[in-house]
Structure formats: C-alpha cells, structure tokens
Structure 1
C-alpha cells in the first residue's frame, strides 16, 4: 500500500484541503460548547444516537453515581452484549468480552477515552494490563455495528468510549471519601475553574483473595481553551500509578476445595505499573454543522510484574518438594494434590518487565452537504500511529529477588496508517451509510539476545454498510453489516527466532468476520425507552487461545459463528403514572444461543489441529445468558435506592466442553489443574442508597456488592479465579 506511505503529508494537508473546499459561514458565538461535545463522544446526544445504524448504550453520570459502581466491570454489565469478568477484585484489569468473544485481557474490544485510543498498544499488543478507575469518567458509551469502522483498528466486537467531564469557566468541585471491609479506602476529588479541571483518585483494597492488596493513584488534568469564536483547544495530561501484590495464577481444583476461594499463597508476587499520557485536541467549526477535529496523543506505560507462578501448571518452583505420606511431590504436584505450598521455599522469581511507547495523530472531519440533491453527512479521517515495545524477562534466584539473568530481550515496533470515510445519504426518513476503512501496518521484531531481526506488513480494506429508518419521532429501525477486523500482535505475526533461525513471518491471518445486526430503538412514552437487537457475527478467522492448559497451545485460529439477541431499556413508572415518587426499572439482557466453532482450530505455529475444537462445539467463555436488572426508587426527599441483580449463565472453560474437571476428554496430566470444566451460572445481588437533602451540598451513601456472599468461579484460564466476596462500603460526598 504505497499510497499510505504518504499519509503523514496527507495528515498535514487535510485541514487546508477541507477549508479550501468549503464556504465557511460566519462564526457561531456558541461554537465552543458544540465543538467540545463532538470531539469527546462516540454516540453524541440522543438525537445523534438515533442516526447510528448499530446498537448503542449510554451509561450516564446519574446511573454511575446512584449505583456507586465499585469497578468498571460493574458499570459495563449494565450494557447488553457485554460480558465482563472479574480478576483481582478492584477492577484494575477488566476482561471485557463482546457478544460471546473471549473476554481475556479485553483483546476483542476497542477502548477509547474521549475518542482517543486508551490501550497502551492498540495495534501491536491489545491486552489490558492498565485501566483507569471508573471514577474518572462522567459517562460510558458502547457502540456496535458498522459505525465502528470510524475508529479501528479493532472492529470485531465493540467500541467502548469513556468520556471525562468537560471543564467550565465556573468554579466546580466534588470531593468524596469512602471506606469498607477488606481494607477498602477511596478518596476522590474533582476541582475546576477557568477552563481547567483536575481529577484525583486514591484507592486501597485487600482484593478478592489473600495476598492481593492493591493501591492506585490517578491524576487527570484537562483544559479547555477558546482560541476564537469557532476554535477550541482541549489539553489532557494524566498519570496513573499502581502498586499491587497480585499473582497471575489461579487455584487448582484441590486448592479450591481444601482452602476456599480466598486462598493465595503467592505473597512474593508484585505488580508495579506507571502510565503517563497526554493529548491535544484542536477543534475547528467552519460551517453550521461542519467540524474538523485533530487529535495528537502520546503515552508511556511501564510495568514490572514479578511472580513465582503464572499458571497452576507452571513448573518454575518444581525444585521445591513436599513429603505427603510416603510420596515426594514437587511444587506443581503438591498444588494438584491440595497441599499448602510455601513460595518462600522456592528460590525463583521471574520478572516480566515491559515498556510501551505509543503516539499518533488523527484528524477527522464532519461535513454536511447536498450532493445528488440529498441530505448528506460525510465523516472521514486519517491516522498515523507508532508503537514501540521493550520487553525483558529477568530470572531471580531468590523468592524476593528483583533482578537476575535475562532470558528475553525483545524490541517490537509497529507503524500503522489508516484512512476511513463514511457518508450518510438521507432519503427523507430513510438514511443509508456506506463506508470504507483502510489499515496498513508494518511490523518489526528484534531479538536483542540473539541479534535476530524480522519484518512483516499487513494491509486490509474494510467495507461497511448501515441504514436507519425513522418510523416517527419515537421509533427508529436500524440495520448494518460490516467486515470485522483485528490485526495480529507483533509477537503473533513474527517468530522470536533462535540461534540457528532468523525471525520469520508466522502463518497467521488477521481476525476477520462479517458482522450483521438489525434492531429497533423506541421511546413509546417519555418515561419508557428500549432497544431490541438481533445479531450474527460470522468469523472467517477467529484467533483464540481457549485455555492455556492442555498441550500449551500458544495460539490458534479457525472459523466461528456467534448469533444472539440483545434487549435493554428503562421504565420510569412514577412518571408514567404521574406520582411524586418515581419507582423505575432498568434491564440489560443478552441471549447467545449460538457460539460455536465452524471447523477445527489449528495451531498458528505448526498448523496442527487443536484438541477439542470439533465442529459445532461451543466456544469457551461464551455464557448463554447475561442479565442485569435494577429496581430503583427516587424520592422527593433526595433519596435514591437501587437493588440490582446480575445473572451470568453457565459457560465452558475449554474447547473440550468438559462439564467436570475430571472429564475423560481432558488430557490426563491436566486433570485437576483448575483450568478445565464448566463454570456454573451465578446470580449476584448489589444494592446502593444515596441521600442528599434538597438544597444541601452533602450526599451520604452506602452500598453492598454481592450482599448474599455468593461463592462462585469467574475464570479458569490460568486456574480457578473466584468472584469478589461480600463488599460493604459507605461514604460521604461534598459538591460545591
């Protein structure tokens, strides 16, 4: 794609080209407010959302506040089609799956903040080991369907955009403090004036298991500056710091049975991470509805994760032995037998040390025009993006060692250029939106231990087509079809080389699918709204690891099919009836009857068939049913109360569809590892209450999560991970 090699010049010339081909109208006096809204949102306001030919969900500030959501996981469960899996209990690394796709490390979803890529390497390593606290956000937007092609590079699942508050000229401030069981403490502050807004958050928690205490601090400074009547500049600077004692491994089946859900002996495992990010957004309004937005962004993420076990089948500590009766068991065997192990006796600690540098520029333009005698809206843009990964592994020879011999020293680089255009043709109440996206990616991998280097490139043209039909002002029908695309990681498309072999391209394709959906958005009454969607995602190539266990399959690919239905809505019963109080109901439901392989998956490294991936078997981590329902009550005295039920249906943890950890289909050596077997369904109850006396600046709140204290499994990828036990929290908030 030589054309894209000139993308940097095109990026520089785009603003001039737009202005040269337009007839600017006199500047609007209210332009800054309108401009800012368009830059940071994916869905826009309610009217703009109705024009999108795909499923949309908006989780607004009132919902986040009234629910007193503890983590991003809890917030996202309010959106249909979204399966979020817990990990360490504080929501530090959410695992987000969309419409049956594996949620591990959120690799099948595109995360944005104020419309800017949030992941530290969205092209070359789209794994979520960093996530800001949910308290930073004012609202959360979820977008599916063909409109996703405006964003990229991940278009197989959904776009999730986290929107931060907009600075104002007036003085504003919110301060809160909360505490609870399991060592939870949370202090938050937000203060702004004269176009500047500073957010601060400090959270401490003991986590869901033993030896999983975490501390994080998050700063976010945002500035809004009016350059002229039709130009604004938005500056963002943020810093995130995390210090955690978090292990990577889960539990074996015997450990879970003998010691319970909170057992974790790995008190030497530590995770330290720091992220610095910054962006500049310039917005130019040059017509009544025309807008040019240019984002420039940069981030540096560094993380050191020292651990003594990565999975229950890890042999790192096998030099340590235990005597049980007349048997001598190594470390791994002792765990399989449910014997309490002591990591202090293991003279080993492995450090996965990572640095990621990401930066890019992305101008995009929105132009309304009357070509062909129709009402048109063109949205188009370009992106130039660069990523560098420094990846080192050091092996210490003591349990608390934090340095040692290097077994990995990789530098992985990626340069990507993208261009997209979508034009909405208006035919009265019918609108049709065709679009194209072009991605061009160059990969480089260097094994600095061996002096080996290799390169590979990938280009993909991604079409889309969407349509909406406004039945009247209360009902909108929509449908779309687009090609889903997700590029392979650097480490997946290029081998690591060896002493006798160069780094070469691996026979792996990008993830590709045909995503189709159709639905209706409706507001039959002012106090009732709902959205109903049916979808079909047909994968020509799905990249999956299934389970890390059973043969150590590092990567596999194959054909897959996902089909289902989504329903979401809210009814304000008090407003419908005309009461002074307002009972309300919210619901989010996903039914996924089909989540199956359409053929055997094959290993990416050697083409061998992956055991268990027979035709029509259900894919792992694809619950058949997801449901979040809320009963709420709003009183004139300033009291709001919410009772929430979260249901997650049963799911398989492996390609074998094993129902029991001892299923005969599971390789003998892996039985009891905790990585195989069915994950039972679970119903979790949450509750929250808020009281703010009318006219007061103070709000008192209390919340309980999993108040029935359900003991349940959420994941078996690296061994059994369990859900959070009962959490009880209370706090006070002051608003200027």
Structure 2
C-alpha cells in the first residue's frame, strides 16, 4: 500500500480531531493550563499527572521523579548517567555521551532501550511505537530536560504499547513566567586522554502577554569522548509555544530538529582491552541520524459533572538513521574486533509516524460520598518504516543488498480508566482496560514477498492506593502489557501475536516534607517473548521469562542540619528464563541481582557538594550462563562494578533576575575499570565503561 493510499485515513483522523474541537467549542470552564477545581474536586487528565515530585506521594505504584536539583547534584552529564540512580534501572553506556542509551528496566532487554517506553512531555519518543521500538535515534539531550519521571507500575492502561518495564517521561524545561535567557556551557576532559567534549546550551523564552508564551532552545555536543574513534557532533533545536485562547481553551505546540553524526569506537578483544581500554579496533564503525518531530495539544475545559476536560493531541515525526560497521566474512565471528573486516555494512532506515489521540476526563461526586475521575481516550497511529541493509566488499567494491524491507502499520487503541474514591478519598481504586488493534503490512522488496499481521489484544489493569495516614500510602497494582512484533519478526510464516506480560506490584510509601521512603515488591511474568527459530526460519512465542524482586529507596533531609540531604536505594532482582529447554531457570543476560545507588549532599558555606555513586553486581552475558570468558570476549561473566561521582556547585553572583553559577564534577572518581559485553553493531568483545572524567560547567541566567 502506497503512502498516497494512507491519505484518506490520515484525513479521516484529522477530521475526527476537528470534530472533537468543534464539539468542545464554546463550553465554558477555567483556564486549561491548570486542573479545574469545583466543589473541592479536580479533574486529572493523566494517570501520571505532570511528572512532578508532588505526583509521587499518592501514586498507586513504584515511581521515581528525578528533579532538576537531583539531576545537577549527582554529577549526571547525560540521561544515561541520571537513570543509573533509579531503582530497577540499568544502563549500558555505549558512548559516554548519552546519544545511544541502552536502558534496561527490571532485567528486560536493554539493547537500544527496546523495552523501555520513552515519552517526551507525554508524547511517544520511540521511532515507531509499534513496529520498531528500539531507540536507535534518541532525539533527547540532557541539558534540555527539567526532570525525568520513571514510572515502573500502574500506567499501562493509558500509556502503551511496549510498557512492560513502565514509562520513562522526559520533561523539557517549561516556558518561564517572565522572559528569561539561559546560557550554559560544559567542558569535559578525560583521564589519560587529550580528548575534550563541549556541551553548549542556549534557551530564551517567556510569556509575551497574559495569553501567549514561547521558548527557543538549542543544545550542541561537539568533540571527542573518552576513547579513540569517538568524534561526536550533535545538534538539538526546538521551539515550544503556549496560547491561552480563552478562559477555557489552550493550545500547546512543539517542534524539534535533531542531528547526530558520530564515530563508534566499538568493543575490544580481551587482549586489546588489557593493553589499552581507550583504543578502538572498530575503525569502520560510524553512526548518523536526523529527526524532525512535532506535536500540537489542544485542551478545552468543560462543565460536565463537577469538572471535565477535553484534550486532543496530534503528533508526528520523520526520522532517518544509518549505522556503518565492519563485517568479517573470512572466518570466525563477523564482529570479532581482533579480526580485520572484509566488508562494510550500512543500514539506512527511515521512519514516518503520525498520530492523533483525543481524550476526555471527567470528575463526579463529592468527598463526602463516592468520587470518580473518569478518563476515556483513543489513539490512531500510522507508521511507515523503510528497513535496508547494504554490504560492500572492501577489496572489490561489489555491493549487495541482503535486506530491503518495508513495514506499514495502522494501529488503533482505546482505553478507559475510572478512579473511584472511597472513605473521604483515603482509598482510591482505579480499574481500567486498554484495547489494541494493530494491522501490519510487510514487504520484502528483494523477493517481492508480502505478509500481513493482525493483532487484537485486550489489556486490563487495576491500581489501588490507601492513605493509611497523611504520610503513609499503601499501594498495589496489576496490569497486562503488550509489545507488538517488530519489523524483523513480521515476515516468513507471519501471524505472530504480540509479546504479552502480566505485571504486579505491592508496596508502601512514606512522604514527609523533603524526606521519603518507598518499598515495593514486583513481579513481571513475560509469557510470549518472540525468539528466532533457525530450523524453521520463523519467530515463535516461546520466550517466557520471569522478573521479580524488591526495590527500596529512601531520602532524608532535615532542617536541623541545613543543606544536608541523604539518599539511598537498593534493588534485588531475580530475572530468569522460564522457557522449556536447557536454559530454563538460568539468569537472564545482563541482569545484575543487586543494585545500589546513593548520594550525600551538604552545603559548605555556599558550596553545595555531593558525593554519589552506584553499584551493580556481576551478571551473565548469555542465556547459557557461561562463566569463563572465551577468546573473543563474546561470552563470559561480567564483573561487578562500583562508580563514585563528586560534584560541587557555587552561585557566584545573584541580583534581581540574573544568576551566575559554576559546577565542577568528577565522574568515576576512583577511575573504576569496568566493562559490558558488545552492543548491537559491535556485539563481540568487552565494551569499556566510562573512565574518570572532569567536567566544568558555567551557567548564566538573566
């Protein structure tokens, strides 16, 4: 089916949006930028709220919001680095820059963050939410963010698909009330290296009048990271605007242009790693990507029931990316870094995604009786993915095209959740259900073969939160989650159903002022992970896994010792294969049983100093749980590692609206030498973790 054939469907979706606008037009309420309050009730249009710290205290699931203060003081220089401090999250830092994160939640596969549901300002960030969930283009840079919200449980009904590990919402910096300009520049230097990385961030914006605000931002990352063959050039520009059309209507808009061009140092053979862990044996490996993204959100307050709000979100993006890597056909593993490459492979891919999501939220009742917060929504998403692979012989220049695939996806989702409040709001129970209908059309342009796949899945969920006291909340949730077959799986025999899991949580949270404590038991029963069957050249739903454990986190801050803050988190994870066969009961690759993170902050006469770090226990790198490392570094146990960071910040000048501050940080303070196994286009060998680095940041706001 051609792109032109999709125009009527897109037009119909747009007509639906316009109709929704027309239905809402002229109905009065309060300003749409805030929750409407009538009779002490407010309508909540999202189960995760606005991803602020205040949203965590009463949330019916395990959740962590990393505030702007937390992001700064823990010496994080990338989104990867920030996520290392979240219980249950593990990151394989492939680049040291955050350009290509590999994020694993609760032991789920972290390669290209393929099983992490990333949002930006509540809008899907994934390349193709259904047919290609891997983040091989990650159009988010650390400096543009105000906070990061990691929701491990309880959000699957509203935010799907691919939410088995929860939802990670990246929240960009808001438009300030008064016009404000920020200039920030960070220079990073690396131990035993002449390499430097420069990170420049510019932001200017504010409200031009009582009803219109706009903000421009630009973030560039240029230089070389900690290893050879790591030249990096990233630019990220965006504009956001907010128009209060009337007392009851609001229009928000966002547009972004992202470009990335970088060398990939790749994995090292064990021998090369021991000789010089900063070198590169993969000198043919490169990466480049572009992304143009936009979304428009219309909000309309209604006076139905106690309060109501209509929201219509439309979004889209056009992304391209291309990996280039060396490929060995002369014998041994094709990615063995110790072997010279005979060929060069490149995989150009193009993504066109459009979506529209109308949502209606309504509140009923009073605190004296039963209260309800009803959310009704639906979403249509269209995806067009071009998936190519080219191979060039280095000696002869001969070019072959092993793969030239296309995948077009039409997906419709509908969901409803109803938060019921009992006992004057102390007990809140929220049943809900999501329905996914996904139609995929696959084309192999080399052979002319076509295939199609239809998936219909009902995904129920329920959450409950009970306010034992004003400070203590007990919570529980259960939800069914879906990950649709990926483009590499919708072929051959076809008719592959999606990967389905059941997630459960039981926990309690204490919150008082700036101090908090949380304990959560969790279990993820993954019933249908798709695995490749070489005998039949098809995928089969046999990859059953179980992920269970406990996540503990606490923060202590007291006014008795001004400027003192302590944080500690621990995760125990038991992630095992449950599929029949020789590996049943084995630990899953890269899933560390024990994870600890910590930070301690104290204000020494205006010098805000933080010592922080994280620890991960050892892990296997294959399903067979091989202990001894082979000669290539492809298998073998990955040793545990502990990383300490130090950050100190000082406000040098402050007058009226002008502030000048400086931060100095040392990442990997003790220069811990640690590694992962290879990733994606360099899957064999040891991939060195980031060594000691020094960072100086100057920030001027006026």
Q: Is the shorter-chain TM-score for this pair beyond 0.5, marking a shared fold?
A: yes
SS in 1 for 2:470: coil
Task: Mark the runs of 5 or more structure 1 residues left unpaired by the alignment.
Answer: 310-314, 319-329, 496-503, 601-608, 662-670
- Whole-Å Cα distance in 2 between the matches of residues 565 and 289 of structure 1? 39
Name the counterpart of 2:61: 54
Name the counterpart of 1:421: 416
- Whole-Å Cα distance in 2 between the matches of residues 471 and 7 of structure 1? 49
1:215 to 233, 249, 273: 233
Asked if 1 retains the 8 angstrom alpha-carbon contact of 2:75 and 2:666, the reply is no
- Whole-Å Cα distance in 2 between the matches of residues 197 and 400 of structure 1? 52
Asked if 2 retains the 8 angstrom alpha-carbon contact of 1:685 and 1:706, the reply is yes
Alignment of 1:116-515 (within 5 A): 116-131=123-138, 132-168=140-176, 170-181=178-189, 182-193=195-206, 194=208, 195-246=213-264, 249-257=266-274, 259-287=275-303, 289-309=307-327, 315-316=328-329, 318=330, 346=342, 348-370=343-365, 374-398=370-394, 404-428=399-423, 429-495=426-492, 504-505=493-494, 508-515=496-503
Q: 1:87 to 1:440 in 2, by over 3 A?
A: same
- Whole-Å Cα distance in 1 between the matches of residues 257 and 634 of structure 2? 36
SS in 1 for 2:56: helix
* 2:560 matches 1:564: no
SS in 2 for 1:285: strand
Name the counterpart of 1:664: none
Per-residue CA deviation, residues 278-329 of structure 1 (Å, 9 max, x unaligned), is: 11111112246422211111101111222113xxxxx34x2xxxxxxxxxxx
Asked if 1 retains the 8 angstrom alpha-carbon contact of 2:452 and 2:490, the reply is no
- Whole-Å Cα distance in 1 between the matches of residues 54 and 663 of structure 2? 33
Q: How far does residue 332 in structure 1 lie from its aligned partner after superposition? A: 5.7
TM-score (norm 1): 0.84
Q: How far does residue 569 in structure 1 lie from its aligned partner after superposition? A: 2.3
- Whole-Å Cα distance in 1 between the matches of residues 654 and 307 of structure 2? 38
Name the counterpart of 2:601: 632
**Greater share of strand:** 2
Name the counterpart of 2:636: 677
- Whole-Å Cα distance in 1 between the matches of residues 389 and 197 of structure 2? 33
- Whole-Å Cα distance in 1 between the matches of residues 252 and 414 of structure 2? 23
Q: 1:370 to 1:494 in 2, by over 3 A?
A: farther
Name the counterpart of 1:598: 578
Q: How far does residue 423 in structure 1 lie from its aligned partner after superposition? A: 0.4
- Whole-Å Cα distance in 1 between the matches of residues 480 and 635 of structure 2? 33
Q: 1:8 to 1:418 in 2, by over 3 A?
A: farther
1:706 to 668, 679, 688: 668
- Whole-Å Cα distance in 2 between the matches of residues 173 and 531 of structure 1? 37
Per-residue CA deviation, residues 672-707 of structure 1 (Å, 9 max, x unaligned), is: 231211111100011111100462521111111112
SS in 2 for 1:692: strand
Asked if 2 retains the 8 angstrom alpha-carbon contact of 1:394 and 1:405, the reply is yes
Name the counterpart of 1:312: none
- Whole-Å Cα distance in 1 between the matches of residues 455 and 400 of structure 2? 35
SS in 1 for 2:33: helix
Q: How far does residue 177 in structure 1 lie from its aligned partner after superposition? A: 1.3
2:82 to 75, 78, 82: 75
1:588 to 569, 575, 596: 569
- Whole-Å Cα distance in 2 between the matches of residues 161 and 133 of structure 1? 13
Task: Mark the runs of 5 or more structure 2 residues left unpaired by the alignment.
Answer: 1-7, 37-42, 190-194
Alignment of 1:41-120 (within 5 A): 42=49, 44-45=51-52, 48-120=55-127
Name the counterpart of 2:688: 722
Q: How far does residue 715 in structure 1 lie from its aligned partner after superposition? A: 2.8
Per-residue CA deviation, residues 633-691 of structure 1 (Å, 9 max, x unaligned), is: 134x5421111121011111011111111xxxxxxxxx323121111110001111110
- Whole-Å Cα distance in 2 between the matches of residues 268 and 399 of structure 1? 14
- Whole-Å Cα distance in 2 between the matches of residues 411 and 599 of structure 1? 31
Name the counterpart of 1:501: none
Q: How far does residue 599 in structure 1 lie from its aligned partner after superposition? A: 3.0
Query: How many equivalent residue pairs?
Result: 665
- Whole-Å Cα distance in 2 between the matches of residues 334 and 192 of structure 1? 48
- Whole-Å Cα distance in 1 between the matches of residues 379 and 335 of structure 2? 52
Q: How far does residue 138 in structure 1 lie from its aligned partner after superposition? A: 0.7
Q: 1:114 to 1:334 in 2, by over 3 A?
A: closer
Asked if 2 retains the 8 angstrom alpha-carbon contact of 1:7 and 1:417, the reply is no
Name the counterpart of 1:686: 645
Supply the RMSD in Å over aligned alpha carbons.
Answer: 3.1
- Whole-Å Cα distance in 1 between the matches of residues 527 and 447 of structure 2? 36
Greater Cα offset, 709-718 or 513-522: 709-718
